[in-house]
Structure 1
Amino acid sequence: MIGTITIVLLSALLAYIGWRTYDQLTFFGKLGLKGPTPLPIFGNLFGFKIGVYKALQKWTKEYGKTFGISRGARKVIISSDVDFVREIMVKQFTNFADRQGFPLRPEETNFDLLNLKGDRWKAMRETVALVFTKHKMQKMLPMVTECADETVKNLKENEKKTEGVLDIHKYMCEYGIDVGSYCFFALRATSQEDMTVLMNQANAMWIRFKTFYLPWFVIMLFPQLEPIFKYLGCSIHPHESVDYFTQLIKGTMDSRRADPNSSKYMDFLQLMMNANEELNSSATTINGRQLQKRALTDKEIFAMSMSVFAGNTETSPGTLSFIFFMLAMHPEVQEKLIQEIDDVMGGGDDVTQEKVNKMTYMDMVIRESLRLYPTAASLDRVCSEDCVVKGIKIPKGTLVEIGVYAIQTDPDYWKDPFTFDPERFSAENKAKMDPMTWLAFGQGPRMCIGYRFAMVEMIVMLTRTFQKFRLEICAKTENPPTRGTRGLMTPEKGINLRLVPRQEQSL
């Protein structure tokens, strides 16, 4: 009896493997797409060993701007064709409004903009948009400046101990966490010990994205097993870190509700709570159906707060670190930027929105750095209905990935694509630019909702740093920096640069 059951199970397994292999080998051919030959079950997963951004760039050169791969069980169309991308992100957005999301997410984090889909995503986006207005971002500017001043103070104290050579990425990570905790929850790390605890918990939230996590890998091969792994307590975010931030955020929410003067706070969490009160009963239309505006639940406020905080600890610090590296490598660009900072600040100390708006060359520097070092190598969308995009019939459920890095370094769109040249983003050149060739914050209705905040955060840090220092490469500078092999582009080994106090150079 046991032998018969074993034979039946093995036969079923072999039949499943045979069907999966046939499906992987024939699916994209039926759509008229080329791509790397997949391995049975694993698909093209091993092709990513060289790094996501390198793999996508390599396959683009071999198979064209639009091709297909199998990421385990998931079939993925990848494109760096800007006309194809425009269809996905803008023209046919209703068919591609949803993101894939991550498997094994804890229940507490399932209600943010990344994971919500359809009408629920639309309703939450409307509410969160009330927080990320330009006016409200201006009110956070003094808080961001305070965090930048603290970071520069730490740079000044430590550069004297190391002959000026510091891992700038370490300090940008501390800055990102300081900005996140202060601007999102109105909490400051009052000691190095507090900062260490925050950093450890924030880093833990991302650790399984950066390293090999067996349950996630198995689910990529067999998605049907996710409920079993969840039952066993597996999570992409360690439970200890989720519990830490749960207590932090919910405790803050409870204290705010008990405080009759809570409106004095201007952090993200308070603005989210205020936005609930600002919502009226007017209706909005989605796909011809009326959707009533509603206040966010506590679960949604918590998930969104956790999402923006965790995101801020990885994205802006990495981008700032790469910007500092590029400026150290190109001193002529650095000097031009310093001159703009001196001219705009005029010897004053306050960073105002008016001054931020005048820093046009800094905006160009940031955008060019993000072109070469985008936060994410690709962006994904899930096809919700059978449709046709540029002659390709895309079945419902297919994942479409937009090759951000491949687009932003494509010689068809950018002359000398690996040359660092901020002038590409001058007002004159931007007017001639196809917006789909620069996707650092995405495009269309699902564009990054916090891009204004991210830009202000970077502008303030750059301003404060170059008011005090010039940056130079040194013997410890890795050139080029080692980038993460996963989807996020972060400097894996840090970025060591020499900081030269400006007052010393003027003597």
Structure 2
Amino acid sequence: MMSFLPYFSAETWTLLALLITLIVVYGYWPYGVFTKMGIPGPKPLPYFGTMLEYKKNIILNGELFDAVSVAEDDTWRRIRSVLSPSFTSGRLKEMFGIMKQHSANLLNGMKKQADKDQTIEVKEFFGPYSMDVVTSTAFSVDIDSLNNPSDPFVSNVKKMFKFNLFNPLFLLILFFPFTGPILEKMKFSFFPTAVLDFFYASLAKIKSGRDTGNSTSRVDFLQMMIDSQKGLTDHEILSQAVIFIFGGYETSSTTMSFLAYNLATNPHTMTKLQEEIDTVFPNKAPIQYEALMQMDYLDCVLNESLRLYPIAPRLERVAKKTVEINGIVIPKDCVVLVPTWTLHRDPEIWSDPEEFKPERFSKENKESIDPNTYMPFGAGPRNCIGMRFALIMIKLAMVEILQSFTFSVCDETEVRRSPEQTEYDIIKHQYLNLLPS
């Protein structure tokens, strides 16, 4: 039998055996962390671990290394302190009038579709609305992307969220996870280079105009960063602007799409919400900021929609020191993933967790909700900085729509999903009827 094997010296066979052993060990050893810590969990595959289940959440940030959602420690604290004043109640109230201009465009676009007796692809309306609100309040750039879908801002944002499973960088990290930190240091990114270059160049041009005295009458997000006395670098300013576009567009439009879907599939809830709208704004009265903020049932409905479909299905945090929790030692620098989706649907926390029940968040009930079990915008000091901005934008649009229309399911509505699809996949191309109310 040995004659069929190549002739190698004993030293060569020893080295070959050692190499094979190392390859096998490499395939298993990195994925035994939970087992060593005594934490039960899914059984990892050799070489892959559980990464195949989370392929869409593997990120290389590239040029966005200094964005507020990515920066760490003192750099993060400095950037966050500069950005926080942009989202105070006073600032948001100033932006409300701008939001109303774009919600009017949204309503007109939806009305045209309804007049044709056609179904609407909800993301195709809420996406442009979110984009227009973000760019106008942040940089005083008015796109009207609903009527100009080929605008470079719109097309490039859409390219940003197209994930390629065969991206060489993704495959490299999938098979060799240790290369991730190295590539991160070298500023490699999963985000298309051309897209990032477009946004950095566009925003740099806008900023340059401000620096040379071509200012705007609006006090927008970009101008507040330029005027800050805490010294953001030019690159930091541009990174915050870019991440604001990406975050504001995708998360807000997705949340609105899920909300419309939940209303369409729960018509009794929609009727009750429309009754509150008619009480607060009788005879389709214009929406006022203060009154909108006092709509209790609207809050309940939106909170329940975010419980079922949180913006981030999971959160990621890094342990800054070694801690022991319930007998389990979490070492310093260990990455901790918080399964928001799972927490929000845990039957030990929520009764009938799969049911849409806005009353969970009524004044009488919400006080009993543990904030660590409901985290649609994250938790702690690194929660979503634009949370209040997003909520106002969503509430305004939804109230104006429901003043005139009613959502309902149609033949194209996907109420059930196939096993290989997630709800987040389906909502990208979800269809509903829009009927005059």
2:78 pairs with 107, 112, 123, which one?
123
Aligned partner of 2:281 in structure 1 is: 345
Q: In the TM superposition, what is the alpha-carbon distance from 1:303 to its structure 2 partner?
A: 0.6
Identical-residue share of aligned pairs (%)? 30
Q: In the TM superposition, what is the alpha-carbon distance from 1:379 to its structure 2 partner?
A: 0.3
Cα distance in 2 for partners of 1:460, 1:492 equals 21
Q: Deviations over 1:469-495 (max 9, x none)?
A: 111111121103679968x93535522
Cα distance in 1 for partners of 2:126, 2:260 equals 10
Cα distance in 1 for partners of 2:308, 2:88 equals 28
Q: Spell out the pairing of 1:187-198 with structure 2 (5 A cutoff).
A: 187-190=141-144, 192-193=147-148, 195-198=150-153
Letter aligned with residue 23 of structure 2: I
Are 1:482 and 1:492, in contact at CA under 8 Å, matched by a contact in 2?
Answer: no
Cα distance in 2 for partners of 1:230, 1:27 equals 23
Aligned partner of 1:106 in structure 2 is: 62
Letter aligned with residue 134 of structure 1: S
Are 1:408 and 1:437, in contact at CA under 8 Å, matched by a contact in 2?
Answer: yes
Asked if 1:18 is matched to 2:21, the reply is no
Aligned partner of 1:238 in structure 2 is: 192
Q: Deviations over 1:29-73 (max 9, x none)?
A: 321122222222111234558x99xxxxxxxxxxxxxxxxxxxxx
Which deviates further from its counterpart, 380-389 or 312-321? 380-389
Q: In the TM superposition, what is the alpha-carbon distance from 1:448 to its structure 2 partner?
A: 1.0
Q: In the TM superposition, what is the alpha-carbon distance from 1:297 to its structure 2 partner?
A: 1.1
Unaligned runs of 5+ in 2: 1-7
Aligned partner of 1:61 in structure 2 is: none
Instruction: Specify which structure has the bigger relative contact order, considering alpha-carbon pairs within 8 angstroms and separated by 6 or more residues.
Output: 1
Cα distance in 2 for partners of 1:251, 1:186 equals 13
Aligned partner of 1:45 in structure 2 is: 51
Q: In the TM superposition, what is the alpha-carbon distance from 1:155 to its structure 2 partner?
A: 0.8
Cα distance in 1 for partners of 2:343, 2:336 equals 15
Aligned partner of 1:149 in structure 2 is: 104
Aligned partner of 1:467 in structure 2 is: 403
- Evaluate the alpha carbon distance shift between residue 233 and residue 453 of structure 1 in structure 2; reply closer, same or farther with a 3 A threshold: closer
Q: In the TM superposition, what is the alpha-carbon distance from 1:428 to its structure 2 partner?
A: 0.8
1:273 pairs with 196, 219, 226, which one?
226
- Evaluate the alpha carbon distance shift between residue 449 and residue 491 of structure 1 in structure 2; reply closer, same or farther with a 3 A threshold: same
1:393 pairs with 293, 317, 329, which one?
329
Q: Spell out the pairing of 1:483-502 with structure 2 (5 A cutoff).
A: 489=424, 491-492=426-427, 494-502=429-437
Cα distance in 2 for partners of 1:186, 1:384 equals 39
Aligned partner of 1:287 in structure 2 is: none
Normalised by the size of structure 1, how large is the TM-score? Answer: 0.77
Are 1:169 and 1:491, in contact at CA under 8 Å, matched by a contact in 2?
Answer: no
Aligned partner of 2:354 in structure 1 is: 418
Cα distance in 2 for partners of 1:190, 1:25 equals 48
Aligned partner of 1:446 in structure 2 is: 382
Letter aligned with residue 224 of structure 2: L
Which deviates further from its counterpart, 26-35 or 440-449? 26-35
- Evaluate the alpha carbon distance shift between residue 260 and residue 206 of structure 1 in structure 2; reply closer, same or farther with a 3 A threshold: closer
Asked if 1:478 is matched to 2:435, the reply is no
- Evaluate the alpha carbon distance shift between residue 153 and residue 9 of structure 1 in structure 2; reply closer, same or farther with a 3 A threshold: farther
Are 1:483 and 1:491, in contact at CA under 8 Å, matched by a contact in 2?
Answer: no
1:29 pairs with 32, 35, 44, which one?
35
Unaligned runs of 5+ in 1: 53-100, 278-293, 503-507
Cα distance in 2 for partners of 1:175, 1:490 equals 20
Are 1:482 and 1:491, in contact at CA under 8 Å, matched by a contact in 2?
Answer: no
Letter aligned with residue 383 of structure 1: A
- Evaluate the alpha carbon distance shift between residue 397 and residue 9 of structure 1 in structure 2; reply closer, same or farther with a 3 A threshold: farther
Aligned partner of 2:134 in structure 1 is: 180
Letter aligned with residue 326 of structure 2: K
Q: How many pairs are equivalent?
A: 428
Cα distance in 2 for partners of 1:8, 1:194 equals 63
Cα distance in 1 for partners of 2:319, 2:115 equals 55
1:159 pairs with 100, 104, 114, which one?
114
Q: Deviations over 1:448-506 (max 9, x none)?
A: 111100100110110111122111111121103679968x935355221111123xxxx
Q: In the TM superposition, what is the alpha-carbon distance from 1:164 to its structure 2 partner?
A: 3.5
Letter aligned with residue 136 of structure 1: R
1:218 pairs with 167, 172, 175, which one?
172
Cα distance in 2 for partners of 1:115, 1:232 equals 15
- Evaluate the alpha carbon distance shift between residue 25 and residue 141 of structure 1 in structure 2; reply closer, same or farther with a 3 A threshold: closer
Q: Deviations over 1:370-411 (max 9, x none)?
A: 101112210011223322222211123321100101100001
Are 1:205 and 1:241, in contact at CA under 8 Å, matched by a contact in 2?
Answer: yes
Letter aligned with residue 17 of structure 1: I
Are 1:176 and 1:317, in contact at CA under 8 Å, matched by a contact in 2?
Answer: yes
SS in 2 for 1:207: coil
Q: In the TM superposition, what is the alpha-carbon distance from 1:434 to its structure 2 partner?
A: 1.0
Cα distance in 1 for partners of 2:36, 2:406 equals 56
Cα distance in 1 for partners of 2:419, 2:88 equals 33
Cα distance in 2 for partners of 1:330, 1:441 equals 24
- Evaluate the alpha carbon distance shift between residue 427 and residue 195 of structure 1 in structure 2; reply closer, same or farther with a 3 A threshold: farther
SS in 1 for 2:87: coil
Cα distance in 2 for partners of 1:231, 1:412 equals 42
Q: In the TM superposition, what is the alpha-carbon distance from 1:445 to its structure 2 partner?
A: 1.2
- Evaluate the alpha carbon distance shift between residue 480 and residue 229 of structure 1 in structure 2; reply closer, same or farther with a 3 A threshold: same
1:259 pairs with 213, 236, 253, which one?
213
What is the RMSD computed on CA atoms of the aligned residues?
A: 2.9
Asked if 1:132 is matched to 2:132, the reply is no
Cα distance in 2 for partners of 1:501, 1:461 equals 16
SS in 2 for 1:385: coil
- Evaluate the alpha carbon distance shift between residue 190 and residue 477 of structure 1 in structure 2; reply closer, same or farther with a 3 A threshold: closer
Asked if 1:407 is matched to 2:364, the reply is no
SS in 2 for 1:445: helix
Aligned partner of 2:157 in structure 1 is: 202
Q: Spell out the pairing of 1:348-359 with structure 2 (5 A cutoff).
A: 349-359=285-295
Normalised by the size of structure 2, how large is the TM-score? Answer: 0.89
Are 1:322 and 1:369, in contact at CA under 8 Å, matched by a contact in 2?
Answer: yes
Letter aligned with residue 489 of structure 1: Y
